[in-house]
Amino acid sequence: MNATRAKKSSDKRRLILDAAVKVFARQGFHACRVSDIADEAGVAYGLVYHYFASKDKVLDTLFLERWNVMLDTIREVDAQDMPVREKLGAIASFIVDSYRHDPDLMKVIIVEVTRAANSFGQTHLGQIREAYDLIAQIVIKAQAEGSFKDDIDAGFAAMAFYGAIEQMLTGWIFGLLPADEEHFERAKWLVVETVCGGLETTTVGNTLP
Amino acid sequence: MNATRAKKSSDKRRLILDAAVKVFARQGFHACRVSDIADEAGVAYGLVYHYFASKDKVLDTLFLERWNVMLDTIREVDAQDMPVREKLGAIASFIVDSYRHDPDLMKVIIVEVTRAANSFGQTHLGQIREAYDLIAQIVIKAQAEGSFKDDIDAGFAAMAFYGAIEQMLTGWIFGLLPADEEHFERAKWLVVETVCGGLETTTVGNTLP
DNA sequence: GGAGATGTTGACTGACCAGTCAATCTATTC
DNA sequence: GAATAGATTGACTGGTCAGTCAACATCTCC
């Protein structure tokens, strides 16, 4: 049957991808060998090249798979009719939950792609920018409807928001922040509370007394 | 004379370090060859190894030189008697100005060390953590004196603050944000305004209406 | 059951590059 | 000006590893 064959085939492909996540997370993309991935997956060296054209393509695949899910989520959230705070909260939630669900994969995506300005970060700059732009759009709308101050550049605000979240993940990745269930939830809340608190028009305190 | 000799010696050392900054920034630490550094500096290959034990040590030196200046600055700022907002503003200022003054060096530090969880980030974890801790201390003091809400974990707040700044630099590094004088200044202000706005006790707006 | 396609294997190769080292050059000192 | 120490050179080496490939295995379908 075709389905069985297809299933079996993609099983091994998936096996390799999952093994790659573990290996990349443990040793880093540059430090690991393709044979490490094959060993971790329990398959022969050559099979990696049967499913992927190069070591790079393995990482590309991992990144794009997950990043596109995130982009879709952000688009969906934005399309809904809810206050900015909730929209940003949903995005923060999604990212933190992604980490909670698969810390290795998020580590790889952040360390090897999102922040790798000279390698994969450049390759996937378009995808990465897309995320920032979508968040900026949310900020712009909030400014237009008056819930966010409009003297703050939306692009910069989006970067600050995204950067704050990514730094939380970085804290967990480096083992600098406690990574239990409660802290995951508090982190979501903190980012939204902090960033929205500073951007909302309801804020009173200002630079001068 | 001894001074001349010493001067000449350290001249070449400096030459190599400066060349390394350019090369690391342009090609990335892993992608570049030691010969690229030597070529850029206009010295022979072997001379790099006369001054540095390994390629790694070159990056270590660059990182530590700059990072220690930053740690000192944060300590000085913290020791002074001024409102939190100004303290955090001074730190944001220092980091942004560091980028303005030498974007290549900051790019290298951030991309190759601060965010490299599997290589130099691990090696220098102590130094990196020190910076986060110092910022967290500032937040804790602000909470103690009542200017910051104390229901927010200081460690997390410090990460959010530092992450927001680093993401601004990342935006400039990737060419995703405008990098002119005015935007540098606005970025400092934005980060402080946003983060402090969300943390200060004077904030009014809250989750529920 | 056999032909063709697809999956799987792992030894091998060719390129690359960090680090070594012996030779040469330059300054310093007496 | 000879001796010593340090600076500078670049050809060479040894190890590493991404990617290839030819052989073998296992499906699918008639």
Query: Taking a contact as any Cβ pair under 8 Å apart, which residues of chain B between 7 and 36 contact chain A?
Result: 26-28, 30-31
Q: What is the pLDDT of residue A32?
A: 98
Chain D: positions less than 7 Å from a protein CB are: 6-12, 16-22, 27-29
Sign for the CA dihedral angle at B119, B120, B125, B131 comes to negative
Chain C: positions less than 7 Å from a protein CB are: 6-12, 16-22, 27-29
Residue that has been written with the tokens 């540095």 in this structure: B52
* Closest Cα in chain B, distance from residue A11 (Å): 29
Q: What is the pLDDT of residue B161?
A: 96
Q: What is the pLDDT of residue A132?
A: 98
The Cβ of residue A99 has, within 10 Å, a number of other Cβ atoms equal to 24
Q: What is the pLDDT of residue B208?
A: 39
> Side chain identity at B25, as an amino acid letter?
A
Distance, in Å, from the CA atom of B106 to the CA atom of B112, rounded to the nearest integer, reads: 10
Q: Which nucleotide is nearest to B16 (CA to C1')?
A: D8
DSSP letters, B1-19, are: -HHHHHHHHHHHHHHHHHH
B46 CB less than 7 Å from any atom of strand D: yes
Token digits for A179? 């990574």
Low-confidence ranges of chain B (pLDDT < 70): 1-10, 202-209
Of B71, B195, B204, nearest in space to B142 by CA: B195
Q: What is the pLDDT of residue A5?
A: 54
- How many CA atoms, within 13 angstroms, populate the side-chain half-sphere of residue A16? 25
- How many CA atoms, within 13 angstroms, populate the side-chain half-sphere of residue A53? 3
The Cβ of residue A71 has, within 10 Å, a number of other Cβ atoms equal to 15
Q: What is the pLDDT of residue A205?
A: 41
Q: What is the pLDDT of residue B206?
A: 42
Low-confidence ranges of chain A (pLDDT < 70): 1-10, 202-209
Q: What is the pLDDT of residue B138?
A: 97
Q: Is B73 exposed, middle or buried (0-12, 13-18, 19+ CB in 10 A)?
A: middle
Sequence-distant (6+) residues with CB within 8 A of A195 are A88, A157, A160, A161, A164, B160, B194, B195, B198
Q: Are A198 and B195 in contact (CB under 8 A)?
A: yes
Q: What is the pLDDT of residue B200?
A: 85
Nearest to A117 among B107, B157, B164 (CB): B107
Q: Which residues pair with B148 in a beta bridge?
A: B200
Q: Where do the H-state alpha helices sit in chain A?
A: 2-27, 34-41, 45-51, 55-79, 84-101, 103-108, 120-123, 125-144, 154-173, 181-199
Output residues with Cβ under 7 Å from nucleic strand C: A 5, 8-9, 12, 43-47, 49-50; B 1-2, 4-5, 8, 32-35, 45-46, 49, 54-56
Q: pTM for this one?
A: 0.92
Q: Which of B193, B199, B201, B208 to mutate to test the interface with A (most CBs of A within 10 A)?
A: B193
pLDDT tens, position by position, B160-169: 999 999 999 9
Q: Which residues does chain B have within 8 Å of residue A183's beta carbon, measured at their own beta carbons?
A: 153, 156
Distance, in Å, from the CA atom of A206 to the CA atom of A195, rounded to the nearest integer, reads: 15
B117 — contact with chain A (CB < 8 Å)? yes
